[in-house]
Amino acid sequence: MVKIKELPDAELVQGSYACAGCGGILAVRLALKVLGPETVIVTTPSCLLGVTTFYPQLAFKVPCVNVTFPSTAAAVSGVVAGLKRRGKKGVKVVGLAGDGGTVDIGLQALSGALERGDNFIFICYDNEAYMNTGVQRSGATPLGARTTTTPVGSIGRGEERPKKDMLGIVAAHNIPYAATASIGYPQDYLSKVQKAMQVEGPAYLQVLSPCPPGWGYRSDLTVKLARLAVQTGQWPLAEYENGRLTVKEIANPRPLRDYLAPQARFAHLLG
């Protein structure tokens, strides 16, 4: 288990142009506390790329390889092979993509890299829609959520399909480690990052990262909503290890309304 008090002081991402209260940048900042400076990030056009690597505001203190939207995991494979050829051992290669860049357009490349067994960590910061382009639905958008492409009207009731079971898809590749996490549970999340670092071969993490403008809530609620998603059973914390899937049980789940009510994207469901 990661001990919060023992995390390093160094901020490896700072000065980004992320929105106030961005869950995604918090997910990345926290992960880098565990990953440390011997890390290479590979990322794609997304909120993250836009807010951390747009000249003249470059916010990472670790190398960052930007690539095209479908290609995170493919470029990861290249970086892994290249570093190996250069004899650079002990450098962790981390693919970072949003939910669209992971479960939709990035899925083929991710499947390829997982199946090849390359040694890398893939972190999907999941804010449940294409936020960078203006909140369009993705395969990770939950049932009922209003987005700009699943609007609510006299017929439309928001997203019509449940969220894609990405953990199941990833686990089907029989990789050494995969997990879901939430920035509302940092110790759990960061312990999973640590496990992901320790395994040999691909590791996948999908961390729920609430988005104030995309979900329509006050920016100070980011962490609370990340917790409520777990407490209401909306976002199960699960781990796939040694071929076994375990899901953290919620002893006394809170009413779903507690999670939905603060978010404008679900307002039409509550009447």
Partner 1 sequence: MLTEGDLRKGPNLATPLLSTTTGSWRLVRPVLNPKRCNNCLTCWLFCPEGCFTRGESIVSLNLDFCKGCGICVAECPREALTLVEEGSNDARLSER
Partner 2 sequence: MRAYLNGNEAVAAAVKLARTEVVAAYPITPQSTIVEKIAEYIAAGSMEADYIRVESEHAALAACYGAAVTGTRVFTATSSQGLAYMFEMLHYVSGCRVPMVMAVANRGLAAPWTIWADHQDAVACRDTGWIQLYVETAQEALDTCLQAYKIAAHPEVLTPVMVCLDGYVLSHTEEIVDVPDQEAVDRFLPSYRPEYSVDTQRPYVFGVGAGPDLYSAFKYYQQQAILKAKEVIKEVDREFQAHFQRSYGGLVDLYYCHDASVVLVVMGATAGTAREVVEYLRRQGEAVGLLRLRSFRPFPVEDLRAALSRARVVAVLDRDCSFGYEGVLATEVKAALADLPAQPQVAGFIGGLGGRDISQEELAGIFRHCLEAVRRQDRGEELVVSGGWQK
Q: Interface residues with partner 1 (CB under 8 A)?
A: 4-5, 7, 9, 11, 13-23, 25-26, 29-30, 53, 55-64, 183, 186, 212, 218-224
Residues 35, 37, 40, 41, CA torsion sign: positive
Binding of residue 39 to partner 2 (CB under 8 A): yes
Phi, psi of 156 (to 5 degrees): -70, 135
Binding of residue 96 to partner 2 (CB under 8 A): no
Site for partner 2 in 9-38 (CB under 8 A): 37-38
C-alpha to C-alpha distance for 166 and 111, rounded to whole angstroms: 11
Tell which one of 2, 25, 79, 166 touches partner 2 (CB under 8 A). 79
Residue 111 or 136 with smaller CB distance to partner 2? 111
Phi, psi of 136 (to 5 degrees): -95, 155
List the beta strands (DSSP E) in the chain.
39-43, 53-54, 57-58, 64-66, 92-98, 121-126, 177-182, 203-208, 238-241, 244-247
236 binds, among partner 1, partner 2, none (CB under 5 to 8 A by kind): none
Nearest of 145, 124, 123 to residue 135 by alpha carbon: 145
Strand-pairing partners, residue 179, are: 205, 239
Residue 20 or 155 with smaller CB distance to partner 1? 20
224 binds, among partner 1, partner 2, none (CB under 5 to 8 A by kind): partner 1
Binding of residue 112 to partner 2 (CB under 8 A): yes
Binding site residues, partner 2, CB under 8 A: 37-40, 42, 49-50, 53-55, 58, 60-68, 70-71, 73-86, 88, 91, 108-109, 111-112, 115-116
